[in-house]
Amino acid sequence: MKSTRQHTPLDKLLISADTVLRTLVPGAAEPYRPSPARDEPEQDMTAQERKHAAGLMRINHTGEVCAQALYQGQALTAKLPEVREQMDHAAKEEIDHLAWCEQRIRQLGSRPSLLNPMFYGLSFGIGAAAGAAGDKYSLGFVAATEQQVCKHLDDHMQRLPYNDQKSRAILQQMYTDEEQHAEQALDAGGIRFPVPVKMVMKLMSKVMTKSVYRI
């Protein structure tokens, strides 16, 4: 039987705190699906190639940290219950991406970005503001964000070392999921953001990618 219990403010606070910890504490994120890289053999790469691949995967990991924060912020302020549920569902799939990316970063001999807490906080605030502006804007922001992420993923798949098929398999599945999230957000009533807004989002994304690649 489906529970009809409503979450109290304390329940919501504890759930949010749990999400923050699972997002930011290394190794805390548990994927719902197995990694797409599990059946791909580890190929030989030079030290420079491994460092480059780790930098790209670190960017993608931080992107997933930001996605978690955005969805949590939007779910907190979304008006319609079905919109909040959609945010929660998308956030669960993003947990898979988060865990897959961190696992791959470790396999490449590196670590997630030290800047993740800062980007989480900024993204949560943006998400909450978007949700407060109205569900159509919140969903539109999801769509625009996911479209931007897909562009990054496509670029990274081209820039990965040729032998790094494990990372490429992860990014390919992420691309499929993110593209679906964008379509679902638009189908649910999200507005299409104008080009100037997308340009600002692209500029902010560049700041993140340039800093996280090394730090």
197: its two tokens: 């807004």
Residue 151: name the closest of 185, 175, 170 by CA.
175
Instruction: Give the model's pLDDT for residue 199.
Output: 66
C-alpha 44/C-alpha 206 separation (Å) is: 30
Q: In the chain, pLDDT over 90 holds for what percent of residues?
A: 14
pLDDT band at 85 (very low <50, low <70, confident <90, very high): low
Residue 182: name the closest of 141, 153, 151, 152 by CA.
141
Domains and CATH numbers, the chain: 47-212 (1.20.1260.10)
Q: How far is CA 130 from the centre of its chain?
A: 17
Task: Say if residues 62 and 116 touch (Cβ distance below 8 Å).
Answer: yes
Q: What angle do CA 31, 159, 47 make, to 5 degrees?
A: 85
Residue 206: CB atoms within 10 Å: 10
Where is the binding site for Fe cation, in residues?
64, 94, 97, 146, 178, 181
Where is the binding site, in residues?
64, 94, 97, 146, 178, 181
pLDDT tens-digit profile of 166-199?
999 999 999 988 888 787 777 777 777 666 656 6
> What does R_g of the chain's alpha carbons equal in angstroms?
17
Please list, residue by residue across 9-26, b when 16 or more beta carbons sit within 10 angstroms of its beta carbon and e when fewer do.
eeeeeeeeeebbebbbee
pLDDT band at 100 (very low <50, low <70, confident <90, very high): very high
pLDDT tens-digit profile of 195-214?
665 666 666 777 777 788 78
